[in-house]
Structure 1
Amino acid sequence: MSNSPLEPSGPEEPPDLSEILRSLMNGDIGANPEMADALKQMGLENVDPAMMQMVGAQIQAMMSGSADDGSFNVELATDVARKQVSSVGDASVTAGTQRDVEQVVQVANLWLDQVTDFPVSGPASAASRAEWVETTMPAWRGLVEPVAQGVSGAIRSAMQEQFRALGSQDLSELGLPPGLDASMVMGQMEPIVGRMSAAMFGMQVGQAVGALAGDLVTGTEVGLPLIPDGTVMILPANVSAFAEGLHVDAGEVHLYLAVREAARMRLFQSVGWVGPALIAAVQKYAGDIRIDTEAIERAVRETDTTDPAQLQGVLQNSLFAPEPSEAQQAALAHLELLLALVEGWVDEVSERAVEPHLPNLAALSEAVRRRRASGGPAERVFASLVGLELRPRLMREAAALFTAVEQAEGAAGRDETWKHPDFAPTAAELPDPARYLARRAGGTEPSRDAVDDALEALLAQGTAEWEAEGDDPQAPDSSS
């Protein structure tokens, strides 16, 4: 157990900051000469405990868990997400269900072997919602940390404004000694404010990921490589909920969704550049987010800051500036293009794989399309966490393009589309497969636009990061 009075005594009992600070101000400082000297330098040796209670009340409710070295409290986010899925029911996966999923994925891979040379990616896993949360939280951290940093800075700025306002009031009414430097008090409090910000954003991430865990049917349905090691993850409880009302045999539903997930994981594992490019596009968008500092300051001033639920609700609606920047618009256009290519390829390959086997293919495909068109899980979670209004409008065009390539050059030609970023269809070519085929046949350079320039920049960024870690996302894939 830590000897520091500012360390929490346990995860379930956050420290009573007002009591801690009051004790420091009421004579206990003599036991700590270094603390006494620091307080005297700020003019706080005779400070009224009521002021410290007022300051502590604003942040006490947001303090929980252990200190986190990142921009948000990942431990808290995971705990909130797990509690959220548990509150609506999240039964553990039985050994029998795991065997069933393994068999379904085995069949899915046998069918995919007939239509693509991209190899089997990894093992099959039947996961509860909580297990999906645990598995994917490291990836979510990397995606949303740029936003967490911006939020932390905005909250710190808002708190500094409050301290400056306190300094301008009649100090005698607050029981403060003359000449108090409120900014120095804020300097002492900044670590605690940082923890408050980390806790607040951690709760928001946890709520968003928890909601997503209750909806996703497979591990990477959002279209991003969230699952490590190529594991084909199925969430059986959510698949059963998805199947309700489709009037399709549950076995067909499980097989169709397993084929889609296995196809997506084969693509991520076989094409080294596509996963890093997707992640870089989201991070590029998030990294250029403008936090609406004025809205956050208003929220902190006008909200009961002792009520964490009220504060979080107000802040969640006030985080982001209303208009995306030009850089964000370019990143969004590129992200939609990449997601369209990934999901268009998955659509085409999956339909080819299941067409001889599943009599209700048309109904299943339409159900997935409706799910995307109505603003699916990915759009909701990105809007909540990074203010990203994501709706991949180009997926049908991408699927049609892959169909055209396959008809002209066969399945091998279709998969060769992924051999290098420069070989992939551009935004201008996506609605015009003939144009793309002509470029492939003639060996000409693709026409370029702003989206393509953004793609090149993002890929360069992703390559540099991977090379720094000792890997190369553009290494030749196993199919070439």
Structure 2
Amino acid sequence: MPEEPEDRRPEDELREMLQQFLSGQGPIDPSRLAGAAGMPSDPAQLHALMAQLQAALARTDDGIDWSAAQRQAAAVVQRDPGSVTTAERDAVRQAADLAALWLSETTEIGAAAGSLTLLSRQQWVDATIPVWQEMSEPVANSIANALTSAMQEHAPEEAQEMLAGAERILRNVGGTMFAMQLGNVVGQLASETIAGGDFGFPLLEDTAALLPVNLRSAAEGLEIPEDQVRIWMAARELAHARLFHHARWLRLHVLSSVREYAEGIRIDVERLEELAESFDPSSPEQLREALGSGALIPPKTPEQVEALARLETTIALIDGWVDAVTEAATARLPKRDAIAETVRRRRATGGPAEKAFGTLVGLEIRPRRLREAAAFWHAVTDAVGPEVRDSLWDQPDLMPGSADIDDPSRVIARLRGVGELDEMDLALQELLDDAERGTGDDEAGGAEQR
């Protein structure tokens, strides 16, 4: 006898219901859903959102589909990909060559690093999206899991059977919504960033990069000759890349610190429960507002405050060193100080997309204490010179701390003692020398006897 067909599973009913919603046959308005994902509701973007969510329903594996973030970022970039002439690219390369020569006069650190790469906005997205994903993943997982739990807990009794066993479907859809929000932010950042080291974090591995289309836009807003802006920007980016090339441990150290902080983020369950109780499927903008405002991320725990302080100190020391080295390398530029101050202010305030990322994942991407860190490196340079100064990046345990930024005197005293032996060192060295001379005499005597 042929086998009886299996009864439909409750999760199949949920999938079918969601598919009806996404096709516009249910109470969810697709254009409103696009708004909840932080996307404009034009037909192309709406179609992309529906396609991504339909794909999330069809997936059999669990977890967040991060390719949705990359596709959404690419869609944002395609609205304004920008264009650069061959002459502009050649001018940036020439500026980078000159900047590299000047930089080599200032520091020997990372001199073997490669040349500067020129990226389009799309190439920057492709190269950096893995790091944005890594920074966002702990929060994305927390939000997807918390949303699933809240929906199951507050669903009416008649829907409980449908939701039971459907956690994967709910997580996939919630995770896809988050990934698309992230992609939207990264796509917007692609039109703001000028260089690989703009945001303090090591987004590019062992690579110096500039975006000529954004460099041109930044220079247009300044009453400064564009060639000077190119040289200064190239010098700063090359210094940033050289530092990470020299201190191989530094990139993992920074990203591990980001991960440590992000994994401590927990979703505000009470706020989420309030959202679930009042959620209206015809007005999903509530979800976007909650995610985009950071309302679901509660105040930092003491452990997070400490982790964030350590991370901010590291980023400030990196950017402070880069600024100090760039200032020395570009001393020949008449408008050096004006360019540096303009860029410093721009980095301190950030653009709309940066703020959107900060609220989305609860992590600011702007270095604090940058001026103090730059002053620290200037003081160390004046006291011991660039070569000894740069030795602080040789090992993780040599890196200064927050207290050292406030008072460089201890670090300077330590660096001035490099190569100097105290009395115990001298006594030990003398014993070793005597032993070596004794061994040499014995060997010589033995040779004579033979």
TM-score by length of 2: 0.78
3-state DSSP of counterpart to 1:425: coil
Q: Could you tell me how far apart the structure 2 residues matched to 1:287 and 1:227 are? A: 22
Matched, 1:130 2:122: yes
Q: 2:167 aligns with which of 190, 213, 217?
A: 190
- Equivalent in the alignment of 1:114: 105
Match of 1:313, as an amino acid? E
Q: Could you tell me how far apart the structure 1 residues matched to 2:410 and 2:94 are? A: 42
Matched, 1:210 2:181: no
Q: Could you tell me how far apart the structure 1 residues matched to 2:87 and 2:20 are? A: 56
Match of 1:121, as an amino acid? A
1:122-178 residue CA offsets vs partner (Å, 9 max, x unmatched): 242222222211111111111111111101111111220233xx11xxx6xxxxxxx
- Equivalent in the alignment of 2:302: 326
Match of 2:396, as an amino acid? P
Question: Does the CA contact (< 8 Å) of 1:289 and 1:320 recur in 2?
Answer: no
Matched, 1:232 2:232: no
3-state DSSP of counterpart to 2:402: coil
Match of 2:370, as an amino acid? M
- Equivalent in the alignment of 2:319: 343
Question: Does the CA contact (< 8 Å) of 2:320 and 2:373 recur in 1?
Answer: yes
Deviation of the 1:343 alpha carbon? 0.6
Higher helix share: 2
Deviation of the 1:427 alpha carbon? 1.1
- Equivalent in the alignment of 2:51: 64
Question: Does the CA contact (< 8 Å) of 2:293 and 2:360 recur in 1?
Answer: no
TM-score by length of 1: 0.73
Q: Could you tell me how far apart the structure 2 residues matched to 1:407 and 1:51 are? A: 65
Question: Does the CA contact (< 8 Å) of 1:63 and 1:195 recur in 2?
Answer: no
3-state DSSP of counterpart to 2:117: strand
Question: Does the CA contact (< 8 Å) of 2:120 and 2:213 recur in 1?
Answer: yes
1:178-213 residue CA offsets vs partner (Å, 9 max, x unmatched): xxxx54421343222122112111111112212211
Question: Does the CA contact (< 8 Å) of 1:336 and 1:393 recur in 2?
Answer: yes
Deviation of the 1:263 alpha carbon? 0.5
Aligned residues: 390
Q: 1:275 aligns with which of 241, 251, 256?
A: 251
Higher alpha-carbon Rg = 2
Question: Does the CA contact (< 8 Å) of 1:121 and 1:269 recur in 2?
Answer: yes
Deviation of the 1:222 alpha carbon? 0.5
Identity %: 37
Question: Does the CA contact (< 8 Å) of 2:292 and 2:356 recur in 1?
Answer: no
Q: Could you tell me how far apart the structure 2 residues matched to 1:197 and 1:384 are? A: 17
Question: Does the CA contact (< 8 Å) of 1:219 and 1:233 recur in 2?
Answer: yes
Residue 346 and residue 32 in structure 1: after superposition, are their counterparts in 2 closer, same or farther (change >3 A)? Answer: farther
Please list, as runs of the form range in 1=range in 2, the aligned pairs for 1:66-215 lying within 5 A after superposition. Answer: 66-67=55-56, 71-87=63-79, 89-118=80-109, 119-163=111-155, 166-167=156-157, 182-215=159-192
Deviation of the 1:121 alpha carbon? 2.1
Matched, 1:359 2:346: no
1:22-74 residue CA offsets vs partner (Å, 9 max, x unmatched): xxxxxxxxx995541656xx9x99x9x99996897669967633447674332
- Equivalent in the alignment of 1:220: 197
Question: Does the CA contact (< 8 Å) of 2:65 and 2:176 recur in 1?
Answer: yes
Q: Could you tell me how far apart the structure 1 residues matched to 2:385 and 2:202 are? A: 27
- Equivalent in the alignment of 1:472: none
Greater CA drift, 236-245 or 427-436 = 236-245
Q: 2:388 aligns with which of 413, 416, 421?
A: 413
Q: Could you tell me how far apart the structure 1 residues matched to 2:321 and 2:187 are? A: 28
Deviation of the 1:99 alpha carbon? 3.4
- Equivalent in the alignment of 1:36: 7
Deviation of the 1:393 alpha carbon? 2.8
Greater CA drift, 96-105 or 59-68 = 59-68
Question: Does the CA contact (< 8 Å) of 2:140 and 2:178 recur in 1?
Answer: yes
Residue 51 and residue 419 in structure 1: after superposition, are their counterparts in 2 closer, same or farther (change >3 A)? Answer: closer
Q: Could you tell me how far apart the structure 2 residues matched to 1:32 and 1:289 are? A: 50
Deviation of the 1:395 alpha carbon? 1.6
Please list, as runs of the form range in 1=range in 2, the aligned pairs for 1:257-272 lying within 5 A after superposition. Answer: 257-272=233-248
Matched, 1:243 2:219: yes
List alignment gaps of at least 5 residues for structure 2.
Answer: 34-48, 419-450
Q: Could you tell me how far apart the structure 1 residues matched to 2:118 and 2:353 are? A: 21
3-state DSSP of counterpart to 1:114: helix
Question: Does the CA contact (< 8 Å) of 2:152 and 2:163 recur in 1?
Answer: yes
Question: Does the CA contact (< 8 Å) of 1:111 and 1:353 recur in 2?
Answer: yes
Greater CA drift, 146-155 or 416-425 = 416-425
Residue 233 and residue 212 in structure 1: after superposition, are their counterparts in 2 closer, same or farther (change >3 A)? Answer: same
Question: Does the CA contact (< 8 Å) of 2:66 and 2:179 recur in 1?
Answer: yes
Match of 2:7, as an amino acid? A
Residue 37 and residue 64 in structure 1: after superposition, are their counterparts in 2 closer, same or farther (change >3 A)? Answer: closer
3-state DSSP of counterpart to 1:430: helix
- Equivalent in the alignment of 1:474: none
Q: Could you tell me how far apart the structure 1 residues matched to 2:313 and 2:3 are? A: 61
Question: Does the CA contact (< 8 Å) of 1:300 and 1:311 recur in 2?
Answer: no
Deviation of the 1:333 alpha carbon? 0.5
